[in-house]
Structure 1
Amino acid sequence: MTNNASVDILNDILETLIDSKHGYEKAAEIADRDALKNFFSRRAASRSAMSAAVRNAIIDLGGKPEDDGTILGSAHRVFMGISAAVQDNDEAAIEAVDKGEEHLRKKFEKALDDEDLTASAQTLLRNYQGELRADGRLIDYLEDATS
């Protein structure tokens, strides 16, 4: 367990959380129903709070937090806009968010399996893992309801 390894792992998570926040913001933008817009906006705020906590953990470990998401995340948001143009906006938003959430959950699992992650970083990620699972179940429900 080294601080440098934990910083790298947490920065990878941070980039994906930033992508998730932007993805939820894009979903709120393209969704038609106000209830979905509100749901996506609340999730974006949650991802912003998670990002802040991870950013602080990186600083506490002596690292420099990433400022941006990934190129893949940017491409995914462009795809969301294109999908919304050719299918139901609500359905496109939910499908895109579902894919992003699955990716984020896998990143968390991979990070938590890494033996180089410090105990404090593991605790932080485990604290958010339950919320991610609950969000995934809600999104699956929304996906089933709109199909």
Structure 2
Amino acid sequence: MTNDKSISILNDVLETLVDSRDGYEKAAEVADRDTFKQFFSRRAASRNGMVTKAQAEIRHLGGEPVDEGTILAKAHRMFLSISAAVQDNDEAAVEAVDDGEEHLRNKVGDAIANDELSPTAKTMLQSFNGELRADGRLIDHLEASV
């Protein structure tokens, strides 16, 4: 196991964490209900905390963390803005974050399962995993309410 492989795996997850944070921020902007805006804002702050921890771990391993999300996610946020303009903003916001969160959970799960990931990085991602699963359940409840 080399630090280079762990850094690569973590940077891949980091891109998706940045996407998630930015997606929640955009969802908070387009949502209509204050309760949804608050939920999305809290989730964005939580993802920002994960971003900071992942960046610190990458630096600890001797790497340079990525500072942007993916191009695909940027396009998805643009779609969210357009979609929100033509339909129920709450529904558009919930659908967008639901898709993104499933992708993030899969990305984190794959990283945890990778034997080339350093033990400290694996422990960090496992700590994220519980919150990601809980968020998925909360989003399911939001979906039912829109």
What TM-score comes out, normalization by structure 2 length? 0.99
- Please list the CA deviations of residues 30-62 of structure 1 after superposition, one character each: whole Å capped at 9, or x if unmatched: 000011101000000000000000000000000
Query: Which residue is 2:19 aligned to?
Result: 19
Gaps of 5+ in 1: none
Runs of 4 or more off by more than 2 Å in structure 1? none
Query: Which residue is 1:107 aligned to?
Result: 107
Cα distance in 1 for partners of 2:75, 2:17 equals 15
Query: Which residue is 1:56 aligned to?
Result: 56
Displacement of 1:10 in angstroms is: 0.3
RMSD: 0.6
Share of identical aligned residues, percent? 62
Aligned length: 146
Cα distance in 2 for partners of 1:144, 1:37 equals 17
Query: Which residue is 2:123 aligned to?
Result: 123
Cα distance in 2 for partners of 1:82, 1:30 equals 10
Letter in 2 for 1:116: E
Query: Which residue is 2:141 aligned to?
Result: 141
Letter in 1 for 2:22: H
Displacement of 1:122 in angstroms is: 0.4
Gaps of 5+ in 2: none
Cα distance in 2 for partners of 1:106, 1:2 equals 23
Displacement of 1:85 in angstroms is: 1.4
- Please list the CA deviations of residues 85-105 of structure 1 after superposition, one character each: whole Å capped at 9, or x if unmatched: 121000000000000000000
Displacement of 1:70 in angstroms is: 0.5
